[in-house]
């Protein structure tokens, strides 16, 4: 294969004495298992970049790599320094930043390190040396920072997977005391050398190419972590056998079907689309592409890539054109991703380095997707699946369509993560439900599943992938769990629950426009929560009595400049128009550390939930807030303004003054989401025009459980007696002051919470548009006095589980009486 070599000069990252690799007191480095190069025994405290490229730091500060056009260069300070967990190192540059040769990366506390580490000799290595050659190697002598150590040239084509596209998986546990740091990672890479297989290691929701030491180190594994090993290609089985020998056996294995007794009985998950279903599991395995060897003709490869990009752009436009709503929005977002010049540039760069168009495109997309996955902003991280989708479309164009996974009728589709296009390929009439190990509730696949009325659970965890094909599953996307391998009796019992639910749903939908009154005749208003203006018309037609919460983030996130006043006003007006005459509560932008704004350089938060978010962001960037208030003041219709994350009246007064400057008096309400707002509810009620309880955040802050926590998040229950008491306090304060109080968090649609909310005097509930009919049905006919008694009892219960059990008894009795 012909190719013009790229060359990178690797310079000394520190002052010191050059030591040949064989002299490094560590066999993996000395035998060249990690890579080729030299080492330096440092005498200075500063460590600089050995060449230009992108900086990748390992989990601890002791090592870093610089990604260059000709491959990755590793600087590993000292031997066994991973054990110091960063002690003795001061990090001077952020992970992921672009660096030039000589840029300062680390400062060393040499005294500390000399006492703690067995040796300070620091290898400076070209990784994956079998594929590249080094020249002008400096073997000995004293060097200063920046002096050339060697030249490295571009990698040759690595062993590509061919043949079988079937993905084989194994589970294993990380053995080494410090996880997959440089040496164990090098061992894995060495084992795979020469094998024709694409191999990945996944853990903590991250996936690394097992041939890349840098990527393996960046996984940040620790001893005992359970990883998923995946391989595709002719030698997939051999590769997995060889790799497995470097790990400990898993607690459970997934490649062989197991007895039901060994499977997890129940898995907690997040509800993305409500519903229930039961059926045999059908594992959706993502297609693993085999890339043909590059032709060696750059111009032809780049032309093929450009043709594919143009064809897919047309295809997306054609598919979007007849659609409306979320499906159209998603295809347009995919078209925008496809048009991103950075993506093409990155792929073209790889073609110039010798990759074929398909491999270059796939790698460019995966590299950008993995950066997105690491974003602290959940919504950004969820866009990685969209990028994967865009990548697949182009690969289909370049390589042909992959075989379609056959899904037996009535199956529960089980997947690691589903892309929007894969979700749309499912026939909702033939699939019972979808459950994914990863993913989030606001991912586009979840939005599309909601549109199809397909129950969906996400974030069930990797244990889900241990469920073999055909194993029976009960999916409860009301309570948020999957039952694995239920008994025949449990299956029969659940079938009658499903039938009953279907019946109720039909009745609720038929009565959606009927009034909602309690047993004493008092009305309850059921409104909807909206995340986009385009959803307004359908929600208004679907029986929502107003908008209790318009989350305006949709207008501000995923764009490079703030929307101006007129653009905002047009979006808000589209909602008020759809709800003509009915109230529309528009929440001030709730962004910040948890949902970063690309056009504002917000500080990076160590703890976004407790950082600059909600109204605090607006007050910190008054222009952003005052523009939004101006847009709201100019919006026709029954607009109410809602403030997120308020702690006290001072914040409320500041916004009221700004609203007055905007020139219109609008009702101004506060969200009750923080413990401070509960404790000061009486003073807030005296000045606010209304309250809206954000039970999602209130539960998070009262219980001190991060709502996005990967393991604790799904067990966060707003029916905890502490949260009930907090809501009760706020509700009482509002009613004493004669101010309306609504609930707009997830509890408002939780059938177990509804009697308790009625019991605390809540007469306004705002829920997802799809839940309006069911919530109305759950409220109708409730006896407020009996609900108040239930609440009094629940507020003294020991925990959330007890509260739920008591409410269920109450509901069963209510159903019996009303039947």
Closer residue to Mg ion (CB): 377 or 697: 697
Nearest to 417 by CA among 287, 288, 285: 285
Q: How far is the CB of 650 from ligand PEP (least distance, A)?
A: 21
- Name the residue nearer to Mg ion (CB basis): 404 or 704: 704
CB atoms within 10 A of CB 308: 20
Residue from 15, 462, 697, 717 binding ligand PEP (CB under 6 A): 697
Strand partners, 107: 46, 90
Smallest distance from the beta carbon of 440 to ligand PEP, in angstroms?
Answer: 13
Site for ligand PEP in 541-580 (CB under 6 A): 549, 551
Contacted by 674, from Mg ion, ligand PEP, none: CB < 5 to 8 Å by type:
none
The binding track of 637-676 with respect to Mg ion, each residue x by CB under 5 A or -, is: ----------------------------------------
Q: DSSP strand E in 610-740: where? A: 639-643, 668-672, 690-693
Nearer to Mg ion, 495 or 712 (CB): 712
Residue position matching structure tokens 């208003």: 525
Distance CA 77, CA 410 (A): 56
Q: Which of 254, 365, 525, 744 is catalytic?
A: 744
For 137-175, what is the HEC assignment? CCCCCEECCCCEEEEEECCCCCCCCCCCCCCEEEEEECC
Among 441, 695, 728, 731, binds ligand PEP (CB under 6 A): 695
The three-class DSSP label of residue 189 is helix
Stretch that binds ligand PEP, among 81-89, 565-573, 695-703, 725-733 (CB under 6 A): 695-703
> Least distance from C-beta 379 to Mg ion, angstroms?
14
Residue 405 per-residue DSSP state: P
* Shortest distance in whole angstroms from residue 243 CB to ligand PEP: 42
Q: Please, which residue, 198 or 571, has the CB nearer to ligand PEP?
A: 571
Nearer residue to ligand PEP within complex by CB, 417 or 590 = 590
Interface with Mg ion: number of residues (CB under 5 A): 2
Is 115 among the residues known to form the active site? no
Kind and range of the H or E run holding 778: helix 772-779
329 or 750: CB nearest ligand PEP: 750
Token pair of 16, please?
Answer: 């010191």
Please say which residue, 524 or 588, places its beta carbon nearer to ligand PEP.
Answer: 588
In whole angstroms, the minimum distance from the beta carbon of 741 to ligand PEP comes to 14
In angstroms, give the least distance from the CB of 800 to ligand PEP: 16
How does 436-465 read in b/e, with b if 16+ C-beta sit within 10 Å? Answer: bbbbbbebbbbbbbbbbebbbbbbbbbbbb
3 state DSSP class of 564: coil
* HSE, side-chain direction, 13 A CA sphere, residue 372: 20
Window 739-798: residues binding ligand PEP (CB under 6 A)? 744-745
412 within 8 A of 279, measured Cβ to Cβ: yes
Q: Which one of 444, 481, 720, 787 is the catalytic residue?
A: 444
Q: Minimum Å distance from CB 614 to Mg ion?
A: 7
User: What stretches of 663-761 show up as alpha helix (H) in DSSP?
Assistant: 675-679, 681-687, 695-703, 721-736, 754-759
DSSP result, 496-527: HHHHHHHHHHHHHHHTTTS--B-TTS-B-EEE
Contact flags string 292-331 toward ligand PEP, x per CB under 6 A: ----------------------------------------
Q: Is 548 a binder of Mg ion (CB under 5 A)? A: no
The CB-of-382 to ligand PEP minimum distance in angstroms stands at 15
Is-catalytic flag, 444?
Answer: yes
Say if residues 14 and 165 touch (Cβ distance below 8 Å): no
155 or 530: CB nearest ligand PEP: 530
Residue 695 interacting entry, from ligand PEP, Mg ion, none, C-beta within 5 to 8 Å by type:
ligand PEP
User: Which of 49, 44, 105 lies closest to 72, judged by CA?
Assistant: 49
Contacts of 625 (CB under 8 A, 6+ apart): 588, 589, 618, 619, 655, 658
Query: Of 102-110, 392-400, 676-684, 694-702, which segment contacts ligand PEP by CB under 6 A?
Result: 694-702
Q: Is 669 in the site for ligand PEP (CB under 6 A)?
A: no
Minimal distance, residue 590 CB to ligand PEP, in Å = 6
Q: How far apart are CA 258 and CA 43, in angstroms?
A: 57
Q: Which of 237, 225, 397 is nearest to 304 (CA)?
A: 397
Closest to 73 measured CA to CA, from 157, 153, 158: 153
The region of 218-226, 355-363, 462-470, 690-698 touching ligand PEP under the rule CB under 6 A is 690-698
- Alpha-carbon distance of 596 to 608, in angstroms, equals 10
Structure tokens at 230: 């995946």
Structure tokens at 444: 């586009």
**Residue 744 binding: pick among Mg ion, ligand PEP, none (C-beta 5-8 Å cut-off by kind):** ligand PEP
Q: Which span sits near ligand PEP by CB under 6 A: 276-284, 422-430, 458-466, 692-700?
A: 692-700
| Residues 646, 649, 650, 655, CA torsion sign | positive
Task: Single out the segment in contact with ligand PEP by CB under 6 A; choices: 517-525, 647-655, 691-699, 726-734.
Answer: 691-699
Residue 377 touches ligand PEP, criterion: CB under 6 A: no
- Which of 50, 694, 740, 784: binder of ligand PEP (CB under 6 A)? 694
Residue 233 CB, shortest distance to ligand PEP, in Å, is 44
Nearest CA to 121 among 225, 27, 24?
24
Distances (CA, A) of 450 to 92, 424, 436: 46, 11, 15
Residue 70 is classified by DSSP as T
Residue 289 DSSP SS3: coil
480 torsion bin: left (phi>0), alpha (psi -120 to 50), beta (else):
left
Sign of CA dihedral 686, 688, 689, 691: negative
Rounded to whole angstroms, the Cα distance separating 495 from 513 reads: 29
Binding-site size, ligand PEP (CB under 6 A): 10
Residue number with the shortest CB distance to Mg ion?
A: 697
CB of 743 to ligand PEP, least distance (A): 8
590 binds ligand PEP (CB under 6 A): yes
Cβ proximity of 458 and 413 under 8 Å:
no
Q: How far is the CB of 190 from ligand PEP (least distance, A)?
A: 48
Phi, psi angles (nearest 5°) of residue 195: -85, 140
Q: Segment near ligand PEP (CB under 6 A), from 201-209, 289-297, 356-364, 689-697?
A: 689-697
Partner whose binding site includes residue 352, from ligand PEP, Mg ion, none (CB under 5 to 8 Å by kind): none
- Choice between 8 and 643, CB closer to Mg ion: 643
DSSP 123: E
Residue 248 is classified by DSSP as B
Q: Which is nearer to ligand PEP, 386 or 590 (CB)?
A: 590
Report the nearest approach of ligand PEP to the CB of residue 819 (Å).
33
State both tokens at 467. Answer: 């469920």
Residue ranges in 683-722 that form contacts with Mg ion under rule CB under 5 A? 694, 697
Binding flag, residue 673, ligand PEP (CB under 6 A): yes
CB closer to Mg ion, 601 vs 607: 607
Name the residue nearer to Mg ion (CB basis): 596 or 694: 694
Q: Using CB positions, name the residue nearest to ligand PEP.
A: 745
Which helix (H) or strand (E) segment holds residue 48: the answer is: strand 46-48
Residues that bind Mg ion (CB under 5 A): 694, 697
Residues that bind ligand PEP (CB under 6 A): 549, 551, 590, 673, 694-697, 744-745
Which residues are designated catalytic?
A: 444, 744
């Amino acid at each position: 294969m012909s190719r013009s070599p790229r060359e990178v000069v690797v310079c000394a990252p520190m002052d010191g004495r050059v030591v040949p690799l064989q002299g490094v007191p560590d066999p993996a480095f000395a035998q060249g298992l990690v890579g080729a190069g030299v080492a330096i025994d440092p005498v200075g405290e500063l460590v600089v970049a050995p060449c230009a490229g992108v900086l990748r730091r390992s989990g601890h500060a002791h090592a870093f790599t610089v990604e260059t056009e000709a491959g990755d260069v590793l600087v590993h300070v000292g031997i066994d320094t991973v054990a110091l967990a960063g002690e003795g190192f001061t990090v001077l540059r952020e992970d992921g930043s672009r660096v030039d040769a000589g840029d300062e990366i680390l400062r060393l506390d040499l005294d500390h390190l000399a006492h703690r580490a067995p040796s300070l000799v620091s290898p400076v290595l070209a990784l994956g040396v079998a594929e590249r050659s080094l020249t002008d190697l400096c073997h000995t002598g004293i060097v200063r920072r920046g002096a050339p150590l060697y030249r490295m040239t571009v990698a040759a084509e690595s062993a590509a997977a061919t043949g079988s596209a079937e993905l084989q998986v194994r589970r294993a546990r990380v053995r080494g005391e410090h996880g997959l740091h440089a040496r164990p990672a090098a061992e894995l890479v060495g084992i795979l050398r020469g094998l024709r297989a694409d191999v990945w290691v996944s853990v903590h929701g991250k996936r690394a190419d097992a041939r890349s030491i840098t990527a393996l180190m960046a996984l940040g594994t620790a001893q005992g972590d359970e990883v998923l090993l995946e391989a595709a290609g002719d030698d997939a089985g051999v590769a997995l056998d060889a790799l497995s020998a470097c790990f400990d056996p898993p607690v459970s294995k997934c490649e062989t079907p197991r007895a039901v007794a060994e499977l997890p009985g129940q898995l907690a998950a997040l509800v993305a689309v409500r519903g229930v279903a039961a059926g045999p599991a059908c594992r959706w395995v993502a297609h693993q592409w085999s890339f043909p060897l590059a032709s060696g003709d750059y111009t032809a490869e780049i032309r093929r890539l450009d043709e594919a990009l143009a064809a897919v752009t047309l295809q997306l436009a054609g598919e979007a054109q007849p659609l409306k709503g979320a499906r159209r929005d998603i295809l347009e977002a995919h078209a925008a991703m496809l048009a991103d010049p950075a993506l093409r540039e990155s792929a073209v760069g790889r073609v110039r380095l010798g990759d074929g168009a398909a491999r270059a495109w796939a790698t460019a997309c995966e590299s950008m997707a993995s950066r997105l996955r690491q974003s602290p902003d959940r919504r950004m991280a969820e866009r990685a699946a969209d990028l994967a989708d865009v990548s697949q479309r182009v690969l289909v164009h370049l390589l042909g369509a992959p075989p379609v996974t056959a899904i037996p009728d009535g199956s529960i589709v089980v997947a690691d993560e589903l892309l929007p296009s894969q979700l749309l390929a499912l026939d909702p009439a033939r699939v019972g439900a979808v459950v994914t190990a990863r993913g989030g509730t606001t991912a586009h696949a979840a939005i599309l599943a909601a549109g199809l009325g397909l129950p969906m659970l996400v974030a069930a965890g990797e244990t889900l992938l241990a469920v073999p094909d055909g194993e029976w599953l009960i999916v409860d996307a009301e309570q948020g769990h999957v039952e694995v391998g239920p008994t025949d009796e449990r299956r029969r019992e659940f079938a009658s629950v499903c039938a009953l639910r279907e019946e109720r749903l039909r009745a609720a939908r038929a009565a959606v426009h009927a009034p909602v009154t309690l047993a004493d005749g008092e009305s309850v208003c059921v409104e909807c929560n909206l995340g986009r203006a385009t959803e307004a018309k359908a929600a208004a037609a679907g029986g929502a009595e107003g908008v209790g919460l318009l989350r305006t983030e949709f207008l501000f996130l995923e764009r490079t400049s703030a929307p101006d006043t007129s653009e905002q006003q047009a979006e808000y007006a589209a909602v008020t128009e759809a709800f003509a005459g009915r109230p529309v509560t528009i929440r001030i932008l709730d962004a910040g550390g948890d949902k970063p704004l690309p056009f504002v350089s917000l500080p990076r938060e160590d703890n976004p939930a407790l950082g600059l978010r909600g109204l605090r962001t607006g007050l910190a960037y008054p222009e952003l807030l005052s523009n939004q208030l101006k847009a709201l003041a100019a919006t026709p219709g029954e607009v109410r303004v809602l403030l997120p994350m308020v702690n006290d009246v001072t914040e409320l007064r500041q916004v009221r003054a700004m609203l007055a400057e905007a020139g219109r008096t609008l009702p101004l309400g506060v969200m009750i989401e923080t413990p401070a707002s509960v404790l000061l509810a009486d003073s807030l009620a005296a000045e606010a025009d209304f309250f809206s309880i954000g039970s999602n955040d209130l539960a998070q802050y009262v219980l001190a459980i991060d709502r996005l926590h990967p393991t604790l998040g799904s067990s966060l229950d707003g029916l905890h007696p502490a949260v009930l008491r907090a809501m009760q306090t706020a509700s009482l304060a509002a009613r004493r002051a004669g101010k309306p109080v609504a609930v707009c968090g997830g509890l408002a649609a939780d059938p177990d919470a509804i009697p308790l909310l009625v019991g605390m005097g809540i007469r306004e509930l705002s829920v997802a548009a799809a839940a309006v009919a069911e919530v109305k049905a759950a409220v109708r006919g409730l006896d407020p006095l009996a609900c108040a008694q239930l609440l009094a009892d629940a507020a003294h219960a020991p925990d959330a589980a007890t509260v739920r059990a008591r409410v269920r008894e109450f509901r069963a009795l209510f159903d019996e009486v009303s039947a």
